[in-house]
Chain A
Amino acid sequence: MDEQTIPIQIKGLRDGLLISIGDGEWATLEPALFEYIDSQDSFFRGARIALDVGAQKLKVNDLVSLRDKLSEHEISLWAVMSESALTEKTAQLLGLATRISKPRPEQLNQFSVDGHNNETALFLDRTLRSGMRIEYPGHIVVTGDVNPGAEIIAEGNVLVWGRVRGMIHAGAKGDNSAYICALALAPTHLRIAEVVSGKLKKGENQTPVIVKISKDGKLKFVPWQPE
Protein backbone atom coordinates (compact mmCIF):
# COMPACT_ATOMS: atom_id res chain seq x y z
CA MET A 1 0.00 0.00 0.00
CA ASP A 2 1.19 3.47 -0.80
CA GLU A 3 2.06 5.61 2.21
CA GLN A 4 -0.09 8.57 1.24
CA THR A 5 -3.21 6.44 1.26
CA ILE A 6 -2.65 5.10 4.76
CA PRO A 7 -3.63 7.54 7.48
CA ILE A 8 -0.82 6.39 9.74
CA GLN A 9 1.68 8.76 11.35
CA ILE A 10 4.72 7.91 13.42
CA LYS A 11 6.38 10.18 15.94
CA GLY A 12 9.28 9.52 18.25
CA LEU A 13 8.66 9.86 21.97
CA ARG A 14 11.23 9.99 24.73
CA ASP A 15 10.65 6.32 25.49
CA GLY A 16 9.20 4.82 22.35
CA LEU A 17 7.02 5.63 19.39
CA LEU A 18 3.65 7.23 18.97
CA ILE A 19 1.59 5.87 16.11
CA SER A 20 -1.51 7.85 15.14
CA ILE A 21 -4.11 6.19 13.02
CA GLY A 22 -6.59 8.32 11.09
CA ASP A 23 -10.29 7.78 10.53
CA GLY A 24 -11.72 4.82 8.69
CA GLU A 25 -12.97 1.30 9.17
CA TRP A 26 -10.96 -0.62 11.77
CA ALA A 27 -11.30 -3.74 9.64
CA THR A 28 -9.16 -2.10 6.95
CA LEU A 29 -6.99 0.09 9.18
CA GLU A 30 -5.66 -2.73 11.30
CA PRO A 31 -4.33 -4.79 8.36
CA ALA A 32 -2.93 -1.56 6.85
CA LEU A 33 -1.07 -0.89 10.09
CA PHE A 34 0.51 -4.34 10.00
CA GLU A 35 1.32 -4.04 6.33
CA TYR A 36 3.10 -0.80 7.16
CA ILE A 37 4.95 -2.36 10.09
CA ASP A 38 6.02 -5.31 7.91
CA SER A 39 7.21 -2.96 5.15
CA GLN A 40 9.50 -1.17 7.60
CA ASP A 41 11.46 -4.34 8.17
CA SER A 42 13.22 -4.30 11.51
CA PHE A 43 12.48 -0.65 12.39
CA PHE A 44 9.66 -1.56 14.80
CA ARG A 45 11.18 -4.67 16.29
CA GLY A 46 11.48 -4.37 20.05
CA ALA A 47 9.69 -1.01 20.06
CA ARG A 48 7.40 0.26 22.79
CA ILE A 49 4.49 1.99 21.17
CA ALA A 50 1.64 4.23 22.15
CA LEU A 51 -1.25 4.21 19.71
CA ASP A 52 -3.61 7.10 19.06
CA VAL A 53 -6.74 5.64 17.47
CA GLY A 54 -8.77 8.85 17.26
CA ALA A 55 -12.48 8.24 17.58
CA GLN A 56 -12.30 4.48 16.84
CA LYS A 57 -14.61 2.46 19.05
CA LEU A 58 -12.57 -0.60 19.95
CA LYS A 59 -13.96 -3.48 21.97
CA VAL A 60 -12.09 -5.89 24.20
CA ASN A 61 -11.53 -8.40 21.40
CA ASP A 62 -10.17 -5.73 19.06
CA LEU A 63 -7.65 -4.48 21.59
CA VAL A 64 -6.63 -7.93 22.84
CA SER A 65 -6.03 -9.16 19.32
CA LEU A 66 -4.19 -5.97 18.34
CA ARG A 67 -1.94 -6.22 21.39
CA ASP A 68 -1.22 -9.91 20.76
CA LYS A 69 -0.49 -9.36 17.05
CA LEU A 70 1.84 -6.50 17.90
CA SER A 71 3.56 -8.70 20.42
CA GLU A 72 4.05 -11.34 17.71
CA HIS A 73 5.93 -8.60 15.83
CA GLU A 74 7.96 -8.06 19.01
CA ILE A 75 6.30 -4.71 19.57
CA SER A 76 4.92 -3.92 22.99
CA LEU A 77 1.82 -1.81 23.22
CA TRP A 78 1.74 0.21 26.43
CA ALA A 79 -0.79 2.96 25.74
CA VAL A 80 -3.89 3.53 23.65
CA MET A 81 -5.29 7.04 23.36
CA SER A 82 -8.76 7.64 22.06
CA GLU A 83 -11.54 10.20 22.02
CA SER A 84 -13.98 7.32 22.40
CA ALA A 85 -14.92 6.69 26.04
CA LEU A 86 -15.57 3.03 25.17
CA THR A 87 -12.10 2.52 23.75
CA GLU A 88 -10.53 4.38 26.65
CA LYS A 89 -12.39 2.29 29.23
CA THR A 90 -11.44 -0.95 27.46
CA ALA A 91 -7.78 0.08 27.35
CA GLN A 92 -7.79 1.02 31.04
CA LEU A 93 -9.33 -2.29 32.05
CA LEU A 94 -6.67 -4.13 30.04
CA GLY A 95 -4.04 -2.30 32.03
CA LEU A 96 -2.93 -0.04 29.18
CA ALA A 97 -2.17 3.61 29.78
CA THR A 98 -4.47 6.16 28.12
CA ARG A 99 -2.29 9.26 28.54
CA ILE A 100 1.28 9.51 27.48
CA SER A 101 2.43 12.03 30.00
CA LYS A 102 1.13 12.71 33.45
CA PRO A 103 -0.30 16.18 33.99
CA ARG A 104 2.18 18.22 35.98
CA PRO A 105 1.03 19.40 39.41
CA GLU A 106 1.22 23.11 38.48
CA GLN A 107 -1.20 22.45 35.65
CA LEU A 108 -3.72 21.01 38.06
CA ASN A 109 -4.09 24.30 39.88
CA GLN A 110 -5.01 26.21 36.78
CA PHE A 111 -8.41 24.67 36.41
CA SER A 112 -11.45 26.62 37.47
CA VAL A 113 -13.32 25.40 40.50
CA ASP A 114 -16.79 25.91 39.12
CA GLY A 115 -17.31 22.31 38.22
CA HIS A 116 -15.80 19.86 35.85
CA ASN A 117 -16.30 20.43 32.18
CA ASN A 118 -18.18 17.23 31.65
CA GLU A 119 -21.35 16.28 33.51
CA THR A 120 -21.46 12.72 32.23
CA ALA A 121 -20.74 9.61 34.28
CA LEU A 122 -18.79 6.48 33.54
CA PHE A 123 -20.48 3.34 34.88
CA LEU A 124 -18.37 0.33 35.77
CA ASP A 125 -20.29 -2.79 36.74
CA ARG A 126 -17.36 -4.73 38.10
CA THR A 127 -14.81 -5.02 40.82
CA LEU A 128 -11.78 -2.88 40.11
CA ARG A 129 -8.74 -4.95 40.83
CA SER A 130 -5.09 -4.23 41.52
CA GLY A 131 -3.31 -2.47 38.67
CA MET A 132 -6.44 -0.94 37.14
CA ARG A 133 -6.36 2.81 36.78
CA ILE A 134 -9.60 4.40 35.64
CA GLU A 135 -9.52 8.08 34.67
CA TYR A 136 -12.55 9.97 33.47
CA PRO A 137 -13.32 13.66 32.88
CA GLY A 138 -16.72 13.32 34.60
CA HIS A 139 -18.22 11.28 37.44
CA ILE A 140 -17.38 7.62 38.03
CA VAL A 141 -19.89 5.12 39.37
CA VAL A 142 -18.65 1.67 40.35
CA THR A 143 -20.93 -1.20 41.27
CA GLY A 144 -18.40 -3.55 42.84
CA ASP A 145 -15.40 -3.23 45.12
CA VAL A 146 -12.32 -1.11 44.56
CA ASN A 147 -9.46 -3.38 45.65
CA PRO A 148 -6.01 -2.43 46.99
CA GLY A 149 -3.79 -1.38 44.10
CA ALA A 150 -6.66 -0.02 41.97
CA GLU A 151 -6.92 3.72 41.26
CA ILE A 152 -9.88 5.87 40.32
CA ILE A 153 -9.36 9.42 39.13
CA ALA A 154 -12.45 11.46 38.28
CA GLU A 155 -12.88 15.13 37.55
CA GLY A 156 -16.29 14.82 39.17
CA ASN A 157 -17.70 12.69 41.99
CA VAL A 158 -16.97 9.05 42.70
CA LEU A 159 -19.72 6.72 43.90
CA VAL A 160 -18.87 3.17 44.86
CA TRP A 161 -21.61 0.66 45.49
CA GLY A 162 -19.15 -1.62 47.21
CA ARG A 163 -16.11 -1.51 49.45
CA VAL A 164 -13.21 0.81 48.76
CA ARG A 165 -9.73 -0.46 49.60
CA GLY A 166 -7.85 1.24 46.77
CA MET A 167 -7.03 4.84 45.85
CA ILE A 168 -9.66 7.40 44.90
CA HIS A 169 -9.20 10.94 43.67
CA ALA A 170 -12.39 12.94 43.07
CA GLY A 171 -12.43 16.49 41.68
CA ALA A 172 -9.07 15.66 40.15
CA LYS A 173 -8.83 18.98 38.31
CA GLY A 174 -9.48 21.07 41.35
CA ASP A 175 -13.23 20.87 42.00
CA ASN A 176 -13.52 21.38 45.79
CA SER A 177 -17.22 20.53 45.74
CA ALA A 178 -16.63 16.98 44.48
CA TYR A 179 -17.45 14.13 46.84
CA ILE A 180 -16.82 10.44 47.29
CA CYS A 181 -19.32 7.94 48.64
CA ALA A 182 -19.00 4.25 49.31
CA LEU A 183 -20.69 1.44 51.22
CA ALA A 184 -17.51 0.86 53.21
CA LEU A 185 -14.25 2.73 53.15
CA ALA A 186 -10.79 1.48 54.05
CA PRO A 187 -8.78 3.07 51.26
CA THR A 188 -5.05 3.20 50.88
CA HIS A 189 -5.38 6.82 49.85
CA LEU A 190 -8.25 9.26 49.37
CA ARG A 191 -8.17 12.67 47.80
CA ILE A 192 -10.61 15.38 46.77
CA ALA A 193 -9.18 18.17 44.60
CA GLU A 194 -5.88 18.92 46.38
CA VAL A 195 -6.93 17.70 49.83
CA VAL A 196 -5.50 14.36 50.93
CA SER A 197 -6.96 12.23 53.70
CA GLY A 198 -4.91 11.45 56.76
CA LYS A 199 -4.29 7.85 57.60
CA LEU A 200 -7.58 5.99 57.97
CA LYS A 201 -7.95 3.58 60.83
CA LYS A 202 -8.85 -0.01 60.19
CA GLY A 203 -12.41 -0.86 61.16
CA GLU A 204 -13.64 2.72 60.72
CA ASN A 205 -16.20 3.64 58.08
CA GLN A 206 -17.54 0.13 57.65
CA THR A 207 -21.00 1.54 56.95
CA PRO A 208 -22.04 3.83 54.09
CA VAL A 209 -20.22 7.15 54.18
CA ILE A 210 -19.89 10.37 52.18
CA VAL A 211 -16.61 12.24 52.07
CA LYS A 212 -16.45 15.98 51.30
CA ILE A 213 -14.17 18.92 51.91
CA SER A 214 -15.38 20.71 55.02
CA LYS A 215 -15.13 24.46 55.74
CA ASP A 216 -11.82 24.02 57.54
CA GLY A 217 -10.40 22.61 54.32
CA LYS A 218 -10.03 19.03 55.57
CA LEU A 219 -11.79 15.90 54.42
CA LYS A 220 -14.93 15.21 56.43
CA PHE A 221 -16.42 11.70 56.70
CA VAL A 222 -20.18 11.82 57.17
CA PRO A 223 -21.94 8.52 57.83
CA TRP A 224 -24.95 8.10 55.61
CA GLN A 225 -28.19 7.67 57.51
CA PRO A 226 -31.55 6.81 56.01
CA GLU A 227 -34.08 9.60 56.71
Chain B
Amino acid sequence: MSAKIVTITSGKGGVGKTTAVANIAVALATNGAKVCCIDGDIGLRNLDVIMGLENRIVYDIVDVIEGRCRLRQAMIRDKRLPELFLIPAAQTRDKTAVSPSDMVRLADELRGEVDWVLIDSPAGIERGFRNTIAPADDILIITNPEVSAVRDADRVIGLIEAEEKNKPSLIINRINPVMIKAHDMLSAEDVLDLLAIPLIGIVPEDENVIVSANRGSPIVLNSKSIAGMAFRNIAQRLEGQEVPYLDLDNHGGLWNRIQRIAGKN
Protein backbone atom coordinates (compact mmCIF):
# COMPACT_ATOMS: atom_id res chain seq x y z
CA MET B 1 0.00 0.00 0.00
CA SER B 2 1.24 3.48 -0.71
CA ALA B 3 -1.23 6.17 0.12
CA LYS B 4 -1.84 9.24 -1.94
CA ILE B 5 -1.73 12.32 0.28
CA VAL B 6 -4.30 14.95 -0.70
CA THR B 7 -4.71 18.31 1.03
CA ILE B 8 -7.81 20.47 0.70
CA THR B 9 -7.20 24.17 1.22
CA SER B 10 -8.70 27.55 0.33
CA GLY B 11 -7.09 30.59 1.92
CA LYS B 12 -10.48 31.90 3.02
CA GLY B 13 -12.38 30.34 5.90
CA GLY B 14 -15.90 28.97 5.71
CA VAL B 15 -15.84 27.95 2.04
CA GLY B 16 -16.26 24.21 2.70
CA LYS B 17 -12.81 22.64 3.29
CA THR B 18 -13.89 20.53 6.24
CA THR B 19 -17.16 19.59 4.55
CA ALA B 20 -15.26 18.49 1.45
CA VAL B 21 -12.69 16.42 3.37
CA ALA B 22 -15.41 14.57 5.33
CA ASN B 23 -17.53 13.89 2.26
CA ILE B 24 -14.77 12.88 -0.13
CA ALA B 25 -13.29 10.60 2.55
CA VAL B 26 -16.63 8.90 3.16
CA ALA B 27 -17.16 8.51 -0.60
CA LEU B 28 -13.71 6.96 -1.12
CA ALA B 29 -14.21 4.60 1.82
CA THR B 30 -17.66 3.62 0.51
CA ASN B 31 -15.97 2.66 -2.76
CA GLY B 32 -13.80 0.25 -0.79
CA ALA B 33 -10.63 2.26 -0.24
CA LYS B 34 -8.88 2.53 3.10
CA VAL B 35 -8.85 6.22 4.04
CA CYS B 36 -7.42 8.31 6.85
CA CYS B 37 -8.39 11.97 7.35
CA ILE B 38 -6.19 14.36 9.27
CA ASP B 39 -7.69 17.45 10.86
CA GLY B 40 -4.94 20.01 10.32
CA ASP B 41 -6.89 22.89 11.85
CA ILE B 42 -5.08 22.75 15.19
CA GLY B 43 -6.89 24.66 17.91
CA LEU B 44 -10.18 24.79 15.97
CA ARG B 45 -10.95 21.16 15.46
CA ASN B 46 -14.24 20.31 13.83
CA LEU B 47 -13.75 17.51 11.31
CA ASP B 48 -14.58 15.06 14.13
CA VAL B 49 -17.92 16.79 14.67
CA ILE B 50 -18.88 16.72 11.00
CA MET B 51 -17.94 13.03 10.85
CA GLY B 52 -19.84 12.35 14.07
CA LEU B 53 -16.78 11.07 15.92
CA GLU B 54 -16.16 13.66 18.61
CA ASN B 55 -17.12 11.28 21.43
CA ARG B 56 -14.45 8.81 20.45
CA ILE B 57 -11.42 11.07 20.71
CA VAL B 58 -8.73 9.89 23.10
CA TYR B 59 -5.49 10.98 21.44
CA ASP B 60 -4.92 13.70 18.85
CA ILE B 61 -2.33 14.67 16.25
CA VAL B 62 -0.14 16.55 18.75
CA ASP B 63 -0.03 13.45 20.98
CA VAL B 64 1.34 11.46 18.03
CA ILE B 65 3.87 14.13 17.12
CA GLU B 66 5.07 14.58 20.67
CA GLY B 67 5.28 10.80 21.17
CA ARG B 68 2.57 10.36 23.80
CA CYS B 69 0.87 7.69 21.72
CA ARG B 70 1.47 5.57 18.65
CA LEU B 71 0.01 6.54 15.28
CA ARG B 72 -2.56 3.71 15.31
CA GLN B 73 -3.83 4.78 18.73
CA ALA B 74 -4.74 8.22 17.40
CA MET B 75 -6.55 6.84 14.34
CA ILE B 76 -10.24 6.82 15.28
CA ARG B 77 -12.23 4.27 13.35
CA ASP B 78 -15.45 5.55 11.77
CA LYS B 79 -18.65 4.12 13.22
CA ARG B 80 -20.18 3.36 9.81
CA LEU B 81 -17.21 2.48 7.62
CA PRO B 82 -14.54 0.20 9.11
CA GLU B 83 -11.93 1.31 6.56
CA LEU B 84 -12.28 5.02 7.38
CA PHE B 85 -10.16 6.73 10.05
CA LEU B 86 -9.68 10.18 11.51
CA ILE B 87 -6.69 11.69 13.25
CA PRO B 88 -8.23 14.63 15.11
CA ALA B 89 -6.66 18.01 15.71
CA ALA B 90 -5.68 19.09 19.20
CA GLN B 91 -8.20 21.54 20.57
CA THR B 92 -6.10 23.01 23.36
CA ARG B 93 -2.90 23.69 21.42
CA ASP B 94 -2.10 26.09 18.62
CA LYS B 95 -0.63 25.52 15.20
CA THR B 96 2.96 26.04 16.37
CA ALA B 97 2.72 22.66 18.15
CA VAL B 98 3.14 21.09 14.70
CA SER B 99 5.76 21.86 12.07
CA PRO B 100 5.84 21.13 8.32
CA SER B 101 8.45 18.41 8.81
CA ASP B 102 6.35 16.77 11.56
CA MET B 103 3.50 16.57 9.06
CA VAL B 104 5.75 15.06 6.41
CA ARG B 105 6.91 12.37 8.86
CA LEU B 106 3.37 11.62 9.98
CA ALA B 107 2.09 11.36 6.42
CA ASP B 108 4.99 9.12 5.43
CA GLU B 109 4.18 6.78 8.28
CA LEU B 110 0.56 6.63 7.08
CA ARG B 111 1.56 5.83 3.50
CA GLY B 112 2.04 2.18 4.35
CA GLU B 113 -1.25 1.95 6.27
CA VAL B 114 -3.96 3.27 3.94
CA ASP B 115 -4.82 4.11 0.29
CA TRP B 116 -5.71 7.76 0.83
CA VAL B 117 -4.76 10.41 3.34
CA LEU B 118 -7.01 13.49 3.19
CA ILE B 119 -5.81 16.55 5.07
CA ASP B 120 -8.10 19.39 6.14
CA SER B 121 -6.38 22.73 6.39
CA PRO B 122 -7.03 25.87 8.42
CA ALA B 123 -7.92 29.24 6.90
CA GLY B 124 -5.03 31.58 6.12
CA ILE B 125 -1.64 31.21 4.49
CA GLU B 126 0.55 31.07 7.58
CA ARG B 127 2.11 28.24 9.52
CA GLY B 128 -1.03 26.08 9.77
CA PHE B 129 -1.50 26.26 6.00
CA ARG B 130 2.15 25.34 5.37
CA ASN B 131 1.88 22.42 7.77
CA THR B 132 -0.91 20.89 5.71
CA ILE B 133 0.66 21.67 2.33
CA ALA B 134 4.10 20.24 3.14
CA PRO B 135 3.21 16.51 2.94
CA ALA B 136 0.74 16.78 0.02
CA ASP B 137 1.18 14.82 -3.21
CA ASP B 138 -1.88 16.58 -4.61
CA ILE B 139 -3.73 19.68 -3.53
CA LEU B 140 -7.39 20.50 -4.04
CA ILE B 141 -8.30 24.17 -3.87
CA ILE B 142 -11.86 24.83 -2.81
CA THR B 143 -13.62 28.13 -3.39
CA ASN B 144 -17.07 29.69 -3.55
CA PRO B 145 -18.32 31.74 -6.48
CA GLU B 146 -17.55 35.01 -4.69
CA VAL B 147 -14.94 37.60 -5.53
CA SER B 148 -13.17 37.48 -2.16
CA ALA B 149 -13.05 33.67 -1.96
CA VAL B 150 -11.69 33.51 -5.50
CA ARG B 151 -9.07 36.16 -4.74
CA ASP B 152 -7.86 34.09 -1.77
CA ALA B 153 -7.87 30.90 -3.83
CA ASP B 154 -5.74 32.67 -6.43
CA ARG B 155 -3.28 33.71 -3.76
CA VAL B 156 -3.01 30.16 -2.42
CA ILE B 157 -2.55 28.72 -5.92
CA GLY B 158 0.27 31.22 -6.48
CA LEU B 159 2.01 30.11 -3.29
CA ILE B 160 1.65 26.45 -4.23
CA GLU B 161 2.99 27.14 -7.72
CA ALA B 162 5.91 29.09 -6.29
CA GLU B 163 6.81 26.04 -4.20
CA GLU B 164 6.84 23.98 -7.38
CA LYS B 165 4.26 21.51 -6.09
CA ASN B 166 2.01 19.55 -8.47
CA LYS B 167 -0.59 21.73 -10.14
CA PRO B 168 -3.63 21.90 -7.83
CA SER B 169 -7.19 21.07 -8.93
CA LEU B 170 -10.28 23.13 -8.24
CA ILE B 171 -13.56 22.48 -6.42
CA ILE B 172 -16.18 25.19 -6.78
CA ASN B 173 -18.57 24.83 -3.84
CA ARG B 174 -22.00 26.38 -3.18
CA ILE B 175 -22.92 27.13 -6.76
CA ASN B 176 -26.42 28.52 -6.93
CA PRO B 177 -27.78 28.56 -10.51
CA VAL B 178 -30.61 30.95 -9.64
CA MET B 179 -28.21 33.61 -8.36
CA ILE B 180 -25.88 33.21 -11.34
CA LYS B 181 -28.78 33.78 -13.72
CA ALA B 182 -29.63 36.95 -11.86
CA HIS B 183 -25.97 37.99 -12.23
CA ASP B 184 -25.66 38.18 -8.46
CA MET B 185 -22.84 35.69 -8.37
CA LEU B 186 -19.84 34.67 -10.37
CA SER B 187 -20.43 31.69 -12.62
CA ALA B 188 -18.28 28.57 -12.48
CA GLU B 189 -16.97 29.70 -15.84
CA ASP B 190 -15.84 33.09 -14.45
CA VAL B 191 -14.05 31.35 -11.59
CA LEU B 192 -12.29 28.85 -13.85
CA ASP B 193 -11.33 31.55 -16.31
CA LEU B 194 -9.50 33.48 -13.62
CA LEU B 195 -7.93 30.64 -11.66
CA ALA B 196 -6.98 28.61 -14.73
CA ILE B 197 -6.33 25.28 -13.01
CA PRO B 198 -8.03 21.95 -13.79
CA LEU B 199 -11.54 21.51 -12.41
CA ILE B 200 -12.30 18.45 -10.29
CA GLY B 201 -15.78 19.26 -8.99
CA ILE B 202 -18.70 21.63 -8.81
CA VAL B 203 -20.91 21.31 -5.74
CA PRO B 204 -24.28 23.06 -5.58
CA GLU B 205 -25.58 25.04 -2.64
CA ASP B 206 -27.73 22.65 -0.58
CA GLU B 207 -29.12 23.36 2.89
CA ASN B 208 -29.00 19.62 3.65
CA VAL B 209 -25.21 19.94 3.79
CA ILE B 210 -25.58 22.02 6.95
CA VAL B 211 -28.26 19.76 8.42
CA SER B 212 -26.16 16.65 7.84
CA ALA B 213 -23.04 18.34 9.25
CA ASN B 214 -24.91 19.08 12.45
CA ARG B 215 -25.97 15.44 12.67
CA GLY B 216 -22.45 14.18 12.15
CA SER B 217 -23.52 12.32 9.04
CA PRO B 218 -21.87 13.65 5.85
CA ILE B 219 -24.18 14.44 2.93
CA VAL B 220 -22.66 11.75 0.64
CA LEU B 221 -24.44 9.20 2.83
CA ASN B 222 -27.72 10.69 1.58
CA SER B 223 -28.27 9.11 -1.83
CA LYS B 224 -30.92 11.67 -2.83
CA SER B 225 -28.84 14.81 -2.40
CA ILE B 226 -27.26 16.42 -5.48
CA ALA B 227 -24.49 17.91 -3.34
CA GLY B 228 -23.79 14.40 -2.09
CA MET B 229 -23.65 13.17 -5.68
CA ALA B 230 -21.24 15.99 -6.56
CA PHE B 231 -18.88 14.89 -3.74
CA ARG B 232 -19.14 11.24 -4.85
CA ASN B 233 -18.15 12.36 -8.34
CA ILE B 234 -15.10 14.18 -6.98
CA ALA B 235 -14.01 10.98 -5.21
CA GLN B 236 -14.35 9.05 -8.46
CA ARG B 237 -12.37 11.65 -10.38
CA LEU B 238 -9.62 11.42 -7.74
CA GLU B 239 -9.59 7.68 -8.40
CA GLY B 240 -8.93 8.48 -12.04
CA GLN B 241 -12.40 7.92 -13.50
CA GLU B 242 -14.00 10.23 -16.02
CA VAL B 243 -17.32 11.39 -14.65
CA PRO B 244 -19.50 13.91 -16.49
CA TYR B 245 -20.46 17.09 -14.63
CA LEU B 246 -23.94 17.35 -13.19
CA ASP B 247 -26.45 19.51 -14.98
CA LEU B 248 -27.42 21.76 -12.11
CA ASP B 249 -29.69 24.23 -13.86
CA ASN B 250 -31.87 21.88 -15.95
CA HIS B 251 -31.24 23.93 -19.07
CA GLY B 252 -27.92 22.63 -20.13
CA GLY B 253 -26.45 25.84 -21.53
CA LEU B 254 -24.12 26.87 -18.74
CA TRP B 255 -23.27 23.28 -17.90
CA ASN B 256 -22.39 22.43 -21.47
CA ARG B 257 -19.92 25.28 -21.37
CA ILE B 258 -18.49 24.00 -18.10
CA GLN B 259 -18.07 20.51 -19.54
CA ARG B 260 -16.14 22.13 -22.36
CA ILE B 261 -13.84 24.15 -20.10
CA ALA B 262 -13.34 21.19 -17.80
CA GLY B 263 -12.36 19.10 -20.80
CA LYS B 264 -9.93 21.75 -21.98
CA ASN B 265 -7.99 21.83 -18.72
Chain A residues engaging chain B, CB cutoff 8 angstroms: 60-61, 64, 68, 71-72, 74, 90, 93-95, 126-132, 145, 147-150, 165
Interface string of B111-147 (1 = CB under 8 A from A): 0000000000000010100100010000000000000
8 A Cβ contacts from B147-169 to A: 151-152, 154-155, 157-159, 161-164
- How many A-B pairs have beta carbons closer than 8 Å: the answer is 61
Q: If the complex has contacts A148-B154, A149-B151, A149-B155, are A95 and B162 also in contact, measured as CB distance less than 8 A?
A: yes
A148: contacting residue among B99, B151, B196, CB under 8 A: B151
**A68 x B134 contact (CB < 8 A):** yes
Q: If the complex has contacts A71-B130, A145-B196, are A131 and B158 also in contact, measured as CB distance less than 8 A?
A: yes
Q: Does B194 lie at the interface of the complex (its beta carbon under 8 Å from any beta carbon of A)?
A: yes
**B163 x A68 contact (CB < 8 A):** no
Q: In the bound complex, what is the Cα–Cα distance between A144 and B185 (angstroms)?
A: 26
**B127 x A71 contact (CB < 8 A):** yes
Main secondary structure of the interface of A (DSSP, over half): loop
**B161 x A126 contact (CB < 8 A):** yes
- Measured CB to CB, the closest approach of chain A to B7, in angstroms, equals 15
Q: In the bound complex, what is the Cα–Cα distance between A50 and B74 (angstroms)?
A: 38
Residues from chain A with a CB closer than 8 A to the CB of B158 are: 93, 95, 127-132, 150
Q: In the bound complex, what is the Cα–Cα distance between A151 and B155 (angstroms)?
A: 12
A147: contacting residue among B96, B162, B164, B194, CB under 8 A: B194
Q: If the complex has contacts A145-B196, A147-B154, A149-B155, are A71 and B100 also in contact, measured as CB distance less than 8 A?
A: yes
**A68 x B101 contact (CB < 8 A):** yes
B163: contacting residue among A64, A129, A148, CB under 8 A: A64
- Interface-central residue, B162, B163, B194, by most chain A CB under 10 Å: B162
**A60 x B99 contact (CB < 8 A):** no
Q: In the bound complex, what is the Cα–Cα distance between A69 and B161 (angstroms)?
A: 20
**A68 x B155 contact (CB < 8 A):** no
- Measured CB to CB, the closest approach of chain A to B223, in angstroms, equals 38
Residues from chain B with a CB closer than 8 A to the CB of A68 are: 99-101, 130, 134
Q: If the complex has contacts A74-B96, A130-B152, are A94 and B101 also in contact, measured as CB distance less than 8 A?
A: no
- Can you list 30 contacts pairing A with B, beta carbon distance less than 8 Å? A60-B162, A60-B163, A68-B99, A68-B134, A71-B99, A71-B100, A71-B130, A72-B99, A72-B100, A72-B101, A74-B96, A90-B162, A93-B158, A93-B162, A94-B163, A95-B125, A95-B159, A127-B196, A129-B154, A129-B155, A129-B157, A130-B151, A130-B152, A130-B158, A131-B155, A131-B159, A148-B151, A149-B151, A149-B155, A165-B194
Write the chain B residue with the least CB distance to A59. B164
Residues from chain B with a CB closer than 8 A to the CB of A61 are: 164
Q: In the bound complex, what is the Cα–Cα distance between A34 and B194 (angstroms)?
A: 41
**A94 x B159 contact (CB < 8 A):** yes
Q: If the complex has contacts A68-B100, A68-B134, are A60 and B164 also in contact, measured as CB distance less than 8 A?
A: yes
- Measured CB to CB, the closest approach of chain B to A162, in angstroms, equals 10
B154: contacting residue among A64, A126, A149, CB under 8 A: A149
Q: In the bound complex, what is the Cα–Cα distance between A149 and B149 (angstroms)?
A: 12
- Measured CB to CB, the closest approach of chain B to A118, in angstroms, equals 24
- Interface-central residue, B99, B152, B155, B158, by most chain A CB under 10 Å: B158
Residues from chain A with a CB closer than 8 A to the CB of B163 are: 60, 64, 94
Write the chain A residue with the least CB distance to B104. A68
Q: In the bound complex, what is the Cα–Cα distance between A128 and B127 (angstroms)?
A: 23
- Measured CB to CB, the closest approach of chain B to A57, in angstroms, equals 16
Q: In the bound complex, what is the Cα–Cα distance between A147 and B150 (angstroms)?
A: 11
